[in-house]
Amino acid sequence: MTDTTTMTGTTMTDPATTPRNTVTDIAGTGLAGLDARNVSAWFSGHKVLERVSLQMEPGKVTALIGPSGCGKSTFLRILNRMHEMVKGAQLAGQVLLGDEDIYHPGARPAEIRRRVGMVFQKPNPFPAMSIYDNVASGLKLSGIKVADTDTLVETSLRRAGLWREVQSRLKSPGGALSGGQQQRLCIARALAVSPDVLLMDEPCSALDPTSTRRIEETIGELEDQVTIVIVTHNMQQAQRVSGNCAFFLAAENTPGSIVESGPTRQLFDSPVDPRTADYVHGRFG
C-alpha cells in the first residue's frame, strides 16, 4: 500500500505490491468500478483527507454524504485526476479503475478523465455552442473519431433523458435551455465519450424539484450502464438514487475521513456509528 512521507503531487505506487483483482466486473457486467485505497489529500501542505478507502462498485450508484468542508469534492476530483490541476494540491494513496491504477506513471490523465467523466453542481454547457455541438464537443477533445456523429449525439441525448425535448432544435444554443435541461445536456456530453464512471458533484443543488426528479430518473436509467458516484446534501436523494453510501466527516481541525460506508439502506436504517445516525437524521451538518 502506498503512503506518503514526502508529498510529491502524485501518488507513489509499487506495482509489485498492488493487488489487481478488486472491483472489476464482479457482477459480470463488463463495467469498471473504482477502488480508492488510503487516499489522503493536501492543499499547500494542509491535510484535508485522511486515508480514505472506498470501493465504488461497477454499475452501481454510490452516494457520498457529509457536512460542508469534509472533503467530498476533493475526493471526487482525486477519482479522475482533476485534483492535481489545483495549484498546491497533493495526494497519496491509490485509485484503481477496474484493475488499472489511474496514477500509474504510464496512465494518461486525459484518458482517465475521458473514462471517468464529471458533472458539476452548476450546469456548464458551452452557452453559445449548439446543443448538438455541445454533445459532440468531448469527441474532438478526446481525439475520438466516430463514423456516425448524428447517431452518437442522439443516443447520448436519449441516455441523458433529453432527446424528446430538444430533437427539433439541435442547432439552438445550449445556453438557451433551462437549468435542468442544461444539466442533462452536460450529462449527455459526458456520456458521448463512453465513460466507465460518471462523477456527479451535487448535480441537483442548483435545480428546481421537477428538474431534480428528471435527473434522478436519468441516474436510475443509467445505473446499469455506467458506474456513478454522486455527492449530495439531500438525504432523501441519497436514499432514492444510491445502492451504497459513504459518510464523510471532518472533526474540528482534523482532515476528513469516512466514518462509515456500506449499503445505503443500512447506513440510514441501522448505522453502526452514532455520528452517522446523528447526521442522517439531520441532527447536525
Count Cα atoms within 13 angstroms, Cβ side, for 193. 26
Nearer to Mg ion, 174 or 256 (CB): 256
Residue 81 or 159 having the CB closest to Mg ion:
81
Would you state the cell numbers that stand for residue 227, as one nine-digit string?
A: 458506474
Helix (H) or strand (E) holding 181: helix 179-191
Binding mask 146-165 for ligand ATP (x = CB under 6 A): --------------------
Q: Which three cell numbers stand for residue 71?
A: 472533503
Query: Of Mg ion, ligand ATP, none, which one does residue 71 interact with (CB within 5 to 8 Å by kind)?
Result: ligand ATP
Window 83-122: contact mask with ligand ATP (x via CB under 6 A): ---x------------------------------------
C-alpha pair distances (Å), 3 with each of 8, 38, 247, 261, 262 = 11, 8, 23, 22, 24
- 29-88: contacts with ligand ATP (CB under 6 A): 43, 48, 68-74, 86
- Cβ-based nearer residue to ligand ATP, 72 or 81: 72
Q: In whole angstroms, give the CA distance from residue 2 to residue 37.
A: 8
CB of 69 to Mg ion, least distance (A): 8
DSSP 201: E
State the residues that interact with Mg ion by CB under 5 A: 73
State how far the Cα of 45 lies from the Cα of 29, in Å rounded to an integer. 40
Residues that bind ligand ATP (CB under 6 A): 43, 48, 68-74, 86
